């Protein structure tokens, strides 16, 4: 892994305790490898793919990490949002030919989200490693 990659991280601020934990995990992993990165924040998870698309038109990145959280409520809204984000991120990844790792947590409870954004288990750290596995093939 001698190559120097530049990562784009786009994070929602809707659940700040959760997304800050994820963001910290992603940044720690990226810095561990001595890669460069930019962080941009948006209000909600649905805005993440749009922000990524805009930023990829302006600047070159080797990989993208999408950070957010959606908690299931009493309606189906959660599933529509999660599906739209997942499809959009995959489409961006294929169109731009770069890894876009999806760390928009989809949980049924806040406890699940906290567990997946902690120092012990951090899905954003795993997302960085997933992107690297694609970049290093």
Burial 35-57 (b: 16+ CB within 10 A, else e): bebeeebbeebbbbbebbeeebe
Phi, psi of 103, deg, nearest 5: -115, 40
Number of domains composing the chain: 1
pTM for this model (two decimals):
0.95
pLDDT over threshold 90, residue 117: yes
For residue 85, being part of any structural domain is answered with yes
For residue 93, being part of any structural domain is answered with yes
Give the pLDDT score at 97.
97
Give the pLDDT score at 2.
59
For residue 107, being part of any structural domain is answered with yes
Q: Domain limits at 27?
A: 6-135
CATH number at residue 54: 3.40.50.960
The residue-averaged pLDDT of 5-12 equals 98
| DSSP code at position 108 | S
Give the pLDDT score at 39.
98
Query: What's the mean pLDDT when you consider all of the chain?
Result: 95
For residue 109 the two structure tokens come to 């409870």
> For this structure, is 33 an active site residue?
no
pLDDT digits (tens, 9 = 90+) for 22-71: 999 999 999 999 999 999 999 999 999 999 999 999 999 999 999 999 99
One of 3, 4, 77, 87 is an active-site residue; which one?
Answer: 77
pLDDT over threshold 70, residue 1: no
Give the pLDDT score at 137.
87
Residue 34 to residues 14, 28, 30, 40, 80, Cα–Cα distance (Å): 29, 10, 6, 19, 37
């Amino acid at each position: 892994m001698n190559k120097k990659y530049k990562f784009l991280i786009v994070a929602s601020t809707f659940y700040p305790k959760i997304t800050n934990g994820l963001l910290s995990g992603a940044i720690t992993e990226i810095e561990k490898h001595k890669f460069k990165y930019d962080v941009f924040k948006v209000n909600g998870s649905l805005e993440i793919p749009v922000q990524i698309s805009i930023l990829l038109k302006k600047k070159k990145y080797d990989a993208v990490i999408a950070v957010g959280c959606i908690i299931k409520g009493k309606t189906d809204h959660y599933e529509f949002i999660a599906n739209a984000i997942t499809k959009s991120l995959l489409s961006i990844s294929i169109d731009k030919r770069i890894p876009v790792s999806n760390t928009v947590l989809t949980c049924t409870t806040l406890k699940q989200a906290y567990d997946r954004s902690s120092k012990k288990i951090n899905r954003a750290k795993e997302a960085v490693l997933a992107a690297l596995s694609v970049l290093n093939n």
